[in-house]
Structure 1
Amino acid sequence: MHATEFTRKPKAADGVGLAVLHGGERHLKSTSLALLCQRVLGTSSDEAIGLTKFAAKDLDFKTVRDELQMVSMFSDRKLVLVEDADDFISEFRSQLESYAEKPSHRSLLVLDVKTWRKNTRLAKKVDADGLEIECSELDGGRLTKWLTQQAEEVYQKQLDPQAAQLIPTLAGNSLGLLDQELAKLASYVGDRTRIGEEDVRTLVGGWKAETTWSMVDAIRDGKSGQALACLNKLLYAGEPAPKILGGLNYVFKKFAIASELSRKGGNLQQALKEAGVFPRDVSNVEKYLRRIRRPRAEAILETLAKADYGLKGGSRVPEQLQLEQLVLWLTGVNIEIV
């Protein structure tokens, strides 16, 4: 099961003798380990009595097995964690397979690995009688769902859908960092029950986020020189090109959607509101769309998709030049994107 599911079904660890944490999302691994400690040892503390951690390097299976079987005078249950256990599993696979058939009833062996092949005999034994917890990174809808649930369950706040989409655009996909941003937002809104997009714009991302908004506003207002200056400032500071594109996507997709809604006969101002444009920005965005004219507005989504493909390896043009071309095109400059 995925770690996000395990946090809601921790009883899945009861009676299990062997568990595997696999994937690259450290926040999910630490959260899952804390839950396992809670179920086995009665506390989630990293220093819990009965918790033993081994580094896999130069570790032999006998040492782990002896630790699992050793009875402590301070605790009748044990949890033994082998960190970075990929090579450990490869070297002692047959012993682990035998252990999985008859694990200790009073101990839980946890293997922390980067990769986990589900077609092996060991994996099938874990699937049948143990617990496999996937700690892979979240993105898209799964990430916004996690943010919404985390805000509600941990911080007792309602996170608006637009805010949930914007937070990772500004702060990245690291769940540990995102959780810190949620904590700051929850404190910032105080007694208010909802966290909105404006709160995220104000608090998340620091000066880089402010520079991104300045770049967006300059593009919207036709100030190509100022927009490029903001772009270069972000790149010089080491902001990844895909993240910069994510900020542009977040804003200009709304403009494109509004343009399509109005094309079908709707009022442009109402279409902008329906697309999620801030009420205070509607007038300026309406001017922007009328300035660049409908053909370019209707090509925004295709152009953004082309830029995304290019930054993912589909173009040999340097990333900076790709972004500069996109910024100029969005500003309304007659330029051919190569």
Structure 2
Amino acid sequence: MTAFPSALSVNSTRPHRTTTLSGPATNQKTTEMHAVEFLKQSSGDIAPVVVLSGGQRHLKQAAMANLRKRVIDDDETCLTRFPAKEATLQAVSDELHTVSMWGDRRLVVVDDADEFVTKNRAGLEKLVEKPARKSVLALVLDSFPKTTKLYKLVAAKGLEIECSELKGPQLQKWLQETAKETYGQSISRDAATLLVELVGDELGMLDSELAKLASYVGSKGKIEIDDVKSLVGGWRTETTWAMTDATRDNDLDFALTALDQLLTSGEPPMKLLGGISYTFKKYAVATDLSRTIALDQALRQAGVFPMAVNAGQSYLRRLGRTKAEQILQRLVQVDSGLKGANPLPERIQLERLLVELSGHDLS
């Protein structure tokens, strides 16, 4: 058996980029920022031109609500909102320069403005260079290319609020902050990681699931991984996790019984393979990483839940490097087999896979 090495640590840092902006109407300093940072602000001047760009609809809605509150105090009489197909440069300009009878500022919004910007780029550049004195123009875009003159003008005189997806530590932090600040609950790191795996990284859906989980745990005050497994995944997800854990821990009787329950209940074999692959691909990645760093660090970098790192070390050391290096190959083979490359029944293919992953040789 080839041993796994020990002892190297890796630290990584992520740079933060900040740009100082000044708007002619307000002479304030404005920061180019992600929507998550913008949402933490509740006061301060707003630049005369604001661009909300990116694919996260939930962040755009939240950032727009913050913008409305800060510019017009949610006064609908001071808001003009153009659907993309109805917006013309002249109409937008007229609204920006119209003095409201009811308030001293106006907010003019163009939704889904990508095509509007493309058609009216030169005119918008002029609006950014000489903005209306008491109005704010907000353009809601899917993308805002940094190579354009308009982008550079906004960077110099306006504000871009980036509403892009969150990943890794940023998404973890958002989940923890949202759970605490919105729902009065804490959420463990493992629970947050599993929630993302089950739901995806769309913030609106994650927020919806957080609301359910907060209600579910109630006065307990903390959302744990078992809560996510029970409420979000349901019994099939819980059983799939138990099956993969038992395979890792060499409890084949339990693993094969769980597999039988899942197949009998109608769970598709390919979906079950997806759950098995999700867990064991991480062990395959950790095996490769462990050539240069300590095994526990390799498991963490591969995405193994912190609470499962010790069990993962025991598993890979019991398996040995030779068998561990074959994990990915076996997963690929069974994937191909379930798609028709192997004449054996799907149940037999999955049973054989669990036996091999647990470290046993097929007789």
- The code of the aligned residue for 1:28 comes to L
- The code of the aligned residue for 1:9 comes to Q
CA distance in structure 1 between the partners assigned to 2:272 and 2:153 by the alignment: 42
- The structure number with the bigger radius of gyration is 2
- What is the Cα deviation at residue 148 of structure 1? 0.9
Show the 5 A alignment for 1:86-165: 86-165=114-193
Q: 1:22 corresponds to which residue?
A: 53
For the residue of structure 1 that corresponds to 2:87, the secondary structure is: coil
- The code of the aligned residue for 1:8 comes to K
Q: 1:28 to 1:15 in 2, by over 3 A?
A: closer
1:245-273 deviation digits (Å, cap 9, x = unpaired): 685269969x98xx99xx99xxxxxxxxx
The aligned length equals 304
Q: Percent identity?
A: 39
Indicate the structure whose relative CO is greater, using CA pairs within 8 Å and at least 6 residues apart. 2
For the residue of structure 2 that corresponds to 1:21, the secondary structure is: strand
Match among 32, 38, 45 for residue 6 of structure 1: 38
- What is the Cα deviation at residue 27 of structure 1? 0.6
Q: 1:227 to 1:6 in 2, by over 3 A?
A: same
CA distance in structure 2 between the partners assigned to 1:330 and 1:144 by the alignment: 30
Q: 1:299 corresponds to which residue?
A: 324
- What is the Cα deviation at residue 38 of structure 1? 0.8
When structure 1 is superposed on structure 2, of 208-217 and 74-83 the one drifting more is 208-217
User: Is residue 3–residue 28 contact of structure 1 (8 Å, CA) maintained in 2?
Assistant: yes
1:117-148 deviation digits (Å, cap 9, x = unpaired): 11221111111121101111112221111101
CA distance in structure 2 between the partners assigned to 1:240 and 1:24 by the alignment: 31
- The answer as to 2:65 corresponding to 1:38 is no
CA distance in structure 2 between the partners assigned to 1:240 and 1:54 by the alignment: 47
Q: TM-score w.r.t. structure 2 length?
A: 0.68
- What is the Cα deviation at residue 10 of structure 1? 4.7
Q: 2:345 corresponds to which residue?
A: none
- The code of the aligned residue for 1:15 comes to I
User: Is residue 77–residue 106 contact of structure 1 (8 Å, CA) maintained in 2?
Assistant: yes
- The code of the aligned residue for 1:125 comes to L
User: Is residue 41–residue 78 contact of structure 1 (8 Å, CA) maintained in 2?
Assistant: yes
CA distance in structure 1 between the partners assigned to 2:221 and 2:39 by the alignment: 23
- The code of the aligned residue for 1:3 comes to A
- What is the Cα deviation at residue 36 of structure 1? 0.4
Show the 5 A alignment for 1:246-257: 247-248=278-279
For the residue of structure 2 that corresponds to 1:80, the secondary structure is: strand
Q: 2:307 corresponds to which residue?
A: 276
Q: Which runs of 5+ in 2 are unaligned?
A: 1-32, 296-304, 342-348
Match among 72, 75, 98 for residue 70 of structure 1: 98
- What is the Cα deviation at residue 25 of structure 1? 0.7
Q: 1:168 corresponds to which residue?
A: 196
For the residue of structure 2 that corresponds to 1:20, the secondary structure is: strand
Q: 2:344 corresponds to which residue?
A: none
Q: 1:206 corresponds to which residue?
A: 234
For the residue of structure 2 that corresponds to 1:52, the secondary structure is: strand
CA distance in structure 1 between the partners assigned to 2:360 and 2:220 by the alignment: 43
Q: CA RMSD in A?
A: 4.3
Q: Which runs of 5+ in 1 are unaligned?
A: 265-273, 311-315
User: Is residue 219–residue 327 contact of structure 1 (8 Å, CA) maintained in 2?
Assistant: yes
CA distance in structure 1 between the partners assigned to 2:306 and 2:110 by the alignment: 49
CA distance in structure 2 between the partners assigned to 1:326 and 1:25 by the alignment: 39
Show the 5 A alignment for 1:307-322: 317=336
- What is the Cα deviation at residue 193 of structure 1? 2.7
Q: TM-score w.r.t. structure 1 length?
A: 0.73
CA distance in structure 1 between the partners assigned to 2:151 and 2:338 by the alignment: 41
- The code of the aligned residue for 1:330 comes to L
Question: Hey, which of these two has a bigger chunk of helix by percent?
Answer: 1
- What is the Cα deviation at residue 58 of structure 1? 5.3
Q: 1:179 corresponds to which residue?
A: 207
CA distance in structure 2 between the partners assigned to 1:320 and 1:240 by the alignment: 13
- The code of the aligned residue for 1:166 comes to L
